[in-house]
Structure 1
Amino acid sequence: MPDGVAPVEAARAGAAAAGRPRHVAIIMDGNGRWASARRLPRAAGHRAGVKAVRRTIEAAITSGVEWLTLYAFSSENWGRPAEEVADLTALLKHYLRHETAELHREGVRLRIIGDRDRFGPDITAEAARAERLTGANTRLNLVVALSYGARAEILAAARRLAAEAAAGGVDPASLGEAEFAARLTTADMPDPDLLIRTSGERRLSNFLLWQSAYAELLFVDTLWPDFGTAEFEAALAEFGRRERRFGGRPG
């Protein structure tokens, strides 16, 4: 039996009922182009992007999506101009400090994946506080990827397994996909059913590479600050029209 059969069966079993995705992941792209088109500084685009985050969270709750993962800051984003990185980190700190209470009132559980320590102790502390406050909420699981890179995540999991094997804790011959996935930062999360990228770009940009093996990919031209309820519902409708076979025979 091929190694991928068991995970595929698990994915089938966990697929959302009635053509609705259980887990939606979004690469939020286009803030800079949105600002440039309006002759505004890039920081204005990022602030407008925060409003789109609010709309998307509300749309996810209304539609019954259980998990929403947002790619907010990639590990590669540290290479942007220092001024823009400073604007982004300040906006992130403001969001964690001032939006967490509203997320909690709405029953949203916030979780952060990625190398949060690179942002410094202030943001690390705010992130931990937000996760503690919202930890028991069940209406929506909101996952924010910060200083995240899928290759680094996969490499870290491989190193962890190698160390365990060297110490005699695991038998390499017995390892399968489930054991590897258990070492990822998303170990207790369902894989994305639908992955959306805004702004017309058509690449994954090092986002959830392992987890998105069987995700439906949707690339939309809308710039992220213009994304909202209508666009989210249109994406769910497109998902509902697709036939998910997980590598099986056509229907």
Structure 2
Amino acid sequence: MPDTSNVPRHVAIIMDGNGRWAKERGLPRLEGHRAGAESVRECVEACKQLGIEYLTLYAFSSENWSRPPAEVSALMTLLERFLDQKANEMMKQDVKLTAIGHLERLPEKTRAKLSKAMERTANNQSLTLVLALSYGSREEITEAARSLVKDAVEGRLVPGDVTAELFATRLYTHDIPDPDLMIRTSGEMRVSNFLLWQISYAELVIFKKFWPDFGQSDLFEAVEEYSRRHRRFGGL
């Protein structure tokens, strides 16, 4: 385990490669998603051990709705099972669950289970697990801009009032600190419309392995790499 004196407060992860992991093994894509759920558990446990306060997982993007309906339906079922099975565990581990994105697009049954899990864990404090569901950063930024324009039209602010700090209060993550470290699996070198505003100064660590092969030791490795870097935030 890395030195815990310099760990990120907030880690964000693009969990990529479930489908390719399954394809390599001659399995249906859904088996890759099932295997990926175990990696989520391991990362939560690793964050708890390290004292990381926030873990945001890119679980389902707004673009993912374009996948075949059968796959989308299966993913929603997997999410529901995850919420059913992990709620007790999150209570035992003092993990608070929350979510960002266009949650109203989720099926009614999925939304109900998500709301129940969030309400049940709302007072937990050791770690906040943020699921990005039906999430797209461009949509998030557009909605934030639209809300400021509406306030300006209705006379509640003038252009000079708009600052980066004010803009950030209109984002889904208004009550969550920006990520310090962003991890992506599968070796892809892109951020895929994930937290574009929030990761402006995040440190990036890329793993070639697919998400179902990602475990505690890999998160420890990413944090160790993070601890060796000097964050300048645009300065010297």
- Structure 1: 4+ residue segments shifted above 3 A: none
| Corresponding residue for residue 236 of structure 1 | 223
Distance 1:188 1:224 in 2: 28
Structure 2 stretches of 5 or more lacking a match? none
Letter in 2 for 1:91: L
5+ long unaligned stretches in structure 1: 1-16
Partner Cα separation in structure 2 for residue 118 and residue 174 of structure 1: 33
What residue is the counterpart of 2:76 in the other structure? 89
Q: Distance in 2 between matches of 1:101 and 1:168?
A: 47
Amino acid at match of 2:56: T
Partner of 1:52: 39
State the shift of 1:120 in Å.
Answer: 1.8
Correspondence for 2:178: 191
Cα distance in 1 for residues equivalent to 2:202 and 2:176 = 14
* Aligned 1:192-211 pairs, distance under 5 A: 192-211=179-198
Q: Deviations over 1:124-161 (max 9, x none)?
A: 11111111100010010100000000000000000001
The answer as to 2:159 corresponding to 1:181 is: no
Q: Which residue of 1 aligns with 2:94?
A: 107
- Code of the aligned partner of 2:148: L
Q: Percent identity?
A: 52
State the 1:19 CA deviation: 2.5
Residue 133 of structure 1 is matched in structure 2 by 120
Task: From 227, 233, 250, give the equivalent of 2:214.
Answer: 227
Match of residue 20 from structure 1: 7
Structure 1 equivalent of residue 146 of structure 2: 159
What root-mean-square deviation, in Å, do the aligned CA atoms of Structure 1 and Structure 2 show?
1.0
* Residue 202 (structure 2) pairs with residue 215 (structure 1): yes
User: Structure 2: how far apart are the matches of 1:161 and 1:202?
Assistant: 33
2: CA distance between counterparts of 1:99 and 1:18? 29
User: Per-residue CA shift, 1:147-195, capped at 9, x if unaligned?
Assistant: 0000000000000010011111112212100000000010011100000
- Where does residue 21 of structure 2 map in the other structure? 34
Distance of 1:230 and 1:157 partners within structure 2: 37
- The 2-side partners of 1:22 and 1:159 are apart by 30
Q: What secondary structure does 2:204 align onto?
A: strand
Distance 1:118 1:188 in 2: 22
> More deviation in 165-174 or 59-68?
165-174
1:68 to 44, 55, 74: 55
Q: Deviations over 1:70-114 (max 9, x none)?
A: 000000001111221111111011111221121111100000101
Q: How many residues matched?
A: 233
Cα separation, 1, equivalents of 2:169 and 2:104: 22
Query: How does the TM-score come out when normalised to structure 1?
Result: 0.91
Point out the more displaced range, 95-104 or 124-133: 95-104
1:43 to 20, 26, 30: 30
Q: Does residue 1:79 correspond to 2:66, yes or no?
A: yes
Report SS of the residue matched to 1:136: coil
- TM-score, normalization by structure 2: 0.97
Q: CA deviation at 1:122?
A: 0.9
Distance in 2 of aligned mates of 1:87 and 1:218:
30
Corresponding residue of 2:135: 148
Write the letter of the residue equivalent to 1:207. Answer: F
